[in-house]
A and B are shown apart, each in its own frame.
Chain A
Amino acid sequence: MLVEVLWGMPQVTYLRILSFMRTRTQESYLSRMVNVLNYIQENLDNDLCLDELAKQACFSRYHFHRIFSGMLGESVKELVRRLRLERAALQLKTSDISILQISLAAGYESDMAFSRVFKSKTGLLPSVFRNTMKASFPCSPIANIRYMTNERISSFEPLIEEELTMNVMIKHVDDIVVAFVRHTGPYQSCGQAWDLLCSTLAPEGLLGGNARMIGVSYDDPDVVDAEKLRYDACISVDDSFNKQDGIGIQTIIGGRYAMITHIGSYDNLSTTYRQIFGQWLSQSEHEAADKPCFEIYLNDPESTEPEDLVTDIYIPLKESNHGEN
């Protein structure tokens, strides 16, 4: 609606409002993420569930973690592990709590396990660290969130690569009916699903022409174990397609999508996703919708060098701008 209202305005005013909106959403991503970070700090000893974290800041449950790791440069798990270690370091220095107790509070099963990890980070065993005046826990090179005892985090510098230029197109996508095979396991081994799908569809004359090869991934590999990752290998078909053994039919729901072309190996797709969510989305006036992303593969990985592969990535967006439903 807002867009329609804006059409009537002079171009300059329109642009000014747009840039104001953008700054506001940027701030909103940042301040909402700050809420999440404070919640993490206050609940370091609890099991932190991603749904709860997303709820804390009204983020889409679907894409919360990608936005998080994209903006912070580390996963929730990594951040929690690091904050607990930083807290342990502080406890070693400022209290006489036993190393075993500190180890357990940091989430380790034994002081042995804790000592090993602690030494790998600081170069010192916890007992030596405790007695060395000048020893300090090293700063993490990627993020600027550090463990704080009583203060709340008020802001942070999100990870932004200066050199990064992303060519993003906002598109309206129609519903796409697809025949699909579900693969559960590491994304790299989805070839079997593709083989089954293609060899079933080929004799039916359903390959070629405008048939598109689409991948739908439901899980973030940073969060879900590789063995449990869900992926659908899909080929677009028309409504007349009948379900067959091992092949399902479903509709990829259309709507507004941000499209980014990824060039290169499929192994690097996760980096591009992280950049889209953490850097492009968090600085844009858009909000991700609660739907999975999908990928359209434009060439054949069997006969194309990995660096020449072209993949269009589609990120679902909420219909309205600037984060309001």
Chain B
Amino acid sequence: MEKIDLFKLHKADYIQAKEPKLVEVSTGHYLTIDGIGAPGSTTFDDAVMALYAMAYTIKMTRKKHGKGDYVICKLEARYWSPTEECLSKIDKSQWQWQLMIRTPDVVEEADLIQAAKALATKGKTLSVNQVKMNEFEFSNCVQMLHVGAYEDEHHTIKKMLDFANEQGLTPKSEHCEVYISDPRRVPADRLKTILRMPVN
């Protein structure tokens, strides 16, 4: 059985454009976890850990049972503020987010329940119970690669907004980020992040 690699299979969804580009992102299934708090805070890191623990437990358990194999996709995240204010204007500890890992649609609800139960029994973080499976429809998006520190993303977002305006498009929901680089290894000024802004 061939290993599914969604990142390669949907190459067009993960285009790393140097300038804003209009793309139609295919609908996909995602393992998700929601929370509130600054990126890098204990809550945030715990959620990342829970999401990855679930992703790998589900993948390897399915593999053991002969249900095929797939590559774990990159981490993605959407951030928004409760008051719909611009994120840069509110304290990071108030940021709301959804962390996501794209997952083949063959993964079933039962896989999640089983994985969460196994992990919780072994004393891993209880946040595994918060991990859900969602279908997500991004459809039309303005997308661009941001190179640099996460704090400097607003420059890229500004470019994307200007591009959207020129095209007569309006953002319809919070933007999404796909983390290409590993922040443990890559210096902040060289971090690669795909920014994706759903538009009408």
A interface with B by C-beta (< 8 Å): 195, 198-209, 263, 298-300, 302-304, 308, 310
Contacts and interface: CB of A to CB of B under 8 A. Distances in A.
A303 B181 CA distance: 11
A199 B62 CA distance: 8
Contacts of A209: 49, 53, 119, 122-125
A251 B55 CA distance: 27
Interface of B: 7, 49-50, 52-54, 56-61, 63-64, 71-74, 114-115, 117-125, 128, 181-182, 184-186
A199 B63 contact: yes
B58 to A, nearest CB: 8
Nearest to B122: A205
A203 B72 contact: no
Given A199-B64, A302-B71, A205 B118 contact: yes
B190 to A, nearest CB: 11
Closest 8 CB pairs of A and B: A208-B53, A205-B118, A202-B60, A205-B122, A199-B64, A209-B124, A205-B119, A198-B60
Of B58, B60, B117, B123, chain A has the most CB atoms within 10 Å of the CB of: B60
A118 to B, nearest CB: 47
B182 A206 contact: no
Nearest to A196: B64
B182 A310 contact: yes
Contact of A200 (B64, B117, B120, B123): B64
A300 B73 CA distance: 10
A314 B93 CA distance: 37
Given A299-B182, A303-B72, A207 B56 contact: yes
A201 B57 CA distance: 8
B23 to A, nearest CB: 21
Given A199-B64, A201-B60, A300-B72, A207 B185 contact: no
Main secondary structure of the interface of B (DSSP, over half): helix
A69 B13 CA distance: 48
Nearest to A209: B124
A308 B183 CA distance: 11
A16 to B, nearest CB: 36
Contacts, number: 78
26 contacts: A195-B63, A198-B63, A202-B60, A202-B61, A202-B64, A202-B115, A202-B118, A203-B57, A203-B114, A204-B122, A205-B57, A205-B117, A205-B119, A205-B122, A208-B49, A208-B52, A208-B53, A208-B119, A209-B53, A209-B122, A209-B125, A303-B7, A303-B71, A308-B181, A308-B185, A310-B185
Contact of A199 (B60, B74, B115, B125): B60
Given A208-B119, A209-B124, A303 B73 contact: yes
Nearest to A201: B60
A298 B186 CA distance: 13
Given A207-B53, A208-B53, A208-B54, A303 B74 contact: yes
Contacts of A302: 71-72
Contacts of A300: 72
B57 A208 contact: yes
Given A298-B184, A310-B182, A198 B72 contact: no
A308 B56 contact: no
Contacts of B50: 208
A308 B182 contact: yes
Contacts of A304: 182
Given A202-B58, A205-B57, A208-B53, 13 more contacts: A195-B63, A202-B115, A202-B118, A203-B61, A204-B122, A206-B122, A208-B57, A208-B128, A263-B185, A302-B72, A303-B71, A303-B74, A310-B185
Contacts of B52: 208
A262 to B, nearest CB: 11
A205 B119 CA distance: 4
Contacts of A201: 60
User: Which of B58, B123, B124, B185 has the largest count of A CB atoms less than 10 A from its CB?
Assistant: B185
